[in-house]
Structure 1
Amino acid sequence: MSRDSIGNILRVSILLCLVCAIGVSVAAVGLKDRQEENKRLDQQKNIAMTALFAEFNEQDDADLYGHFESGQVSLFELLKARDEAPENLRPQIDAAVEDLVGAQAAKKLASLKNEREIIQALFNPADGVIKKQFVDLETGDVVPVSQLPKGEGYDARAAAGDAKLQVKIPAERNIAGIGTRAPYYAVYRVEKDGELASLVLPIVGKGLWSTMYGFLALDPDLTTVRGINYYEHGETPGLGGEVDNPIWKRQWRGKVAFEDGEPAIDVIKGSVNPSDPNAQHKIDGLAGATITAVGVENTVNYWLGENGFGEYLKKQRDQRQAGRSRESRVGS
């Protein structure tokens, strides 16, 4: 049979297609694990950035403020700048890192060479400063991984879309616009020398064009906001997309998230008047993005409320108060 016959051409074409298909499949399978790992590391970095940042001001920290050209500098920026900064600034940078994570962790982090190693060290279950816990939103209790559906393979985002696992949110409570939620969510305790330094909560809710995924960090009092960070959304750049603007995010620092035990964050139209008696709860709006701003407000208040992490936060506050009372009695 001629090599140019239709039969030979078909056989060669089919064989080539099979080889290509197998090659693509092998590459896809090989890359999947790496892609999942990169996605996990990126999310962990966002968790860390929501809580682990130093604050400088022009008066007290003039040199550092001038060097970084910012009043708020992430742990990653501090560690990266450490070896590049002028000699006279290095002790101050080391002190800032130590103030965030404690002396022992700071020493370990300073020895690491790249961002991946730093993230892995921060989340190391044995000695990392960021501890992951799973919470039952219904009871507010911490749940062992062994009791989760699928155990180590449990994923809250997937569970929220799984008809067998999801919890439907009644319309009157669905202020975040998500319709369903997972039964269990991970929270992240950021510790310094074994003590709670901040608590990072996942948040999810509707903006104008998209479902927005992020993290909210609270101070140890579990009432004051430390930071907010969105890592995934499809809002309009320059409008709703300004949720990514560091200047806008910075104003959340120190806001009081509760009033008489109820979530009280208020993202207003325009700018907050410092003399407003409720300014401690208010955030500047997003120009031209009112619906996104309302979405952020509703999202934060939903997850801080009784339908989100409210019960968990209440129990954690009660435990901290009980611990202080015991220490006070022992001290007296």
Structure 2
Amino acid sequence: MTEFNPWRLWKRFLALPNDSRAKTLGVALFVALVCATAVSITAVTLEPLQEANLQRERERRMAEMISALPGMADILRETEVDTLDTVIVNLGTGDVTDAFAPAQFDYAAAQTDPELTTMIPEDADVAGIGRRPIFAPAYLLRDEDRLVLVVIPTYGTGYQSTIRAYVAIKGDLNTIAAVSIYEQGETPGIGTRITDPSWQDRWQGKQIADETGAVRLSVVQGGADGPFEVDAISGATRSSMGVSNLVRFWLGAHGYGPFLERLKARGE
């Protein structure tokens, strides 16, 4: 029985004519095997580096998205944070869902899609929007492992238009850090005063709910008194109340209330 000799077979293979079909196929197979091995080794070796690069890219894009939100630049300048995250919330349950990728979630479309919205009970629709999205984004800003800020997008009916605003809540989940109105069509020179920084600053430090969990934050006429009240704008009461109503709705049980309660329960 002839002893198997790989080296002899290899020499015989190399001795084949270059136009030999067997040699052509053999060389192609050998090159493919070497390349596949090299790619596999490279992929395994570089996987940690690739994952780190992808994570940095995700954080960069998320940071750009947050900073690009109307009114967010001032909030970010005033808040020291080093990690931020975007989540999509099921408003009915308060749970974070992975059914949508945050970067691809179209919140504007979700507000008008019948399949992605639900009716609001008439007695609970203080924002006057009729239907609300089932899913909505929330922006969580952290300093290391500590939750510093929760930013939620809100909207509701004003005196002459739909008012849209971002509400930033401090890490205790019961104190307003900022209210930033970024879209409205109220009466020029009167209702548009809700965008004045001096009025929006009145919301800072106000408390959302009392010890029972009931949302008490509201705009009042005739002088605010206490941690739950914000002065209305003289001459623009209806627009001021529109902001009050949208804030109360989105912080309540039919808005982000269940989500905020889940964050509290987790001790964030």
| TM-score scaled by length of structure 1 | 0.57
1:293 equivalenced with 2:247 (yes/no)? no
> What residue is the counterpart of 2:161 in the other structure?
210
8 Å CA contact 1:214–1:231 kept in 2: the answer is: yes
Q: Between the two structures, name the one with larger relative contact order (CA 8 Å, sep ≥ 6).
A: 2
Aligned to 1:130: 84
Which of 176, 181, 195 does residue 132 from structure 2 map onto?
A: 181
Match of 1:166 in 2: 117
Deviations 1:53-81 (A, max 9, x none): 44xxxxxxxxxxxxxxxxxxxxxxxxxxx
Superposed CA offset, 1:50-107 (max 9, x none): x3344xxxxxxxxxxxxxxxxxxxxxxxxxxxxxxxxxxxxxxxxxxxxx325xx5xx
Q: How much does 1:200 deviate?
A: 0.5
Question: Cα distance, 1:195 vs. partner?
Answer: 2.0
Identify the residue that residue 80 of structure 2 maps to in structure 1: 101
User: Residues 72-151 of structure 1: matches in 2 within 5 Å?
Assistant: 100-101=79-80, 129-144=83-98, 147-148=99-100
Identity of aligned residues (%): 31
State the 1:46 CA deviation. 2.3
Within 5 Å, give how 1:1-332 maps onto structure 2.
43-49=68-74, 51-54=75-78, 100-101=79-80, 129-144=83-98, 147-148=99-100, 152-259=103-210, 260-272=212-224, 276=225, 279-320=226-267
Counterpart residue identity of residue 266, structure 1: S
The structure whose residues are more often helix, as a share, is: 1
CA-to-aligned-CA distance 1:226-273 (integer Å, 9 cap, x gap) = 00001111012322211111111111111011122011112111332x
SS in 2 for 1:235: coil
How far off its partner does 1:204 sit? Answer: 0.5
Kept after mapping to 2: 8 A contact 1:43/1:231:
no
1:162-210 per-residue CA deviation (whole Å, 9 max, x = no partner) reads: 1222211121111100111111111011122342111111111010011
- Structure 1, unaligned stretches of length 5 or more? 1-39, 55-99, 106-128, 322-332
Alignment partners' CA distance in 1, 2:67 and 2:259: 26
Residue number in structure 1 paired with 2:35: none
Aligned residue pairs total 204
Q: Counterpart amino acid of 1:52? A: L
* Cα offsets for 1:270-327 (capped at 9, x unmatched): 332xxx4xx1101010111111111111111100110001111111001117xxxxxx
Runs of 4+ in structure 1 deviating by more than 4 angstroms, as ranges, are 40-43
Distance 1:306 1:46 in 2: 26
Larger Rg: 2
Contact residue 175 and residue 298 of structure 1 kept, 8 A: yes
TM normalised by structure 2 equals 0.70
Indicate if the aligned counterparts of 1:160 and 1:167 stay in contact, CA closer than 8 A: no
What do you get for the CA RMSD once the two structures are aligned? 2.2
Aligned residue for 1:200, secondary structure, equals: strand
Kept after mapping to 1: 8 A contact 2:120/2:132: yes
Which amino acid in 1 is paired with 2:174?
T
Helix, strand or coil for the counterpart of 1:164? helix
What is the CA–CA distance in structure 2 between the aligned matches of 1:187 and 1:221, rounded to whole Å? 16
Q: CA deviation at 1:153?
A: 3.4
Deviations 1:95-149 (A, max 9, x none): xxxxx325xx5xxxxxxxxxxxxxxxxxxxxxxx3311110001100112xx13x
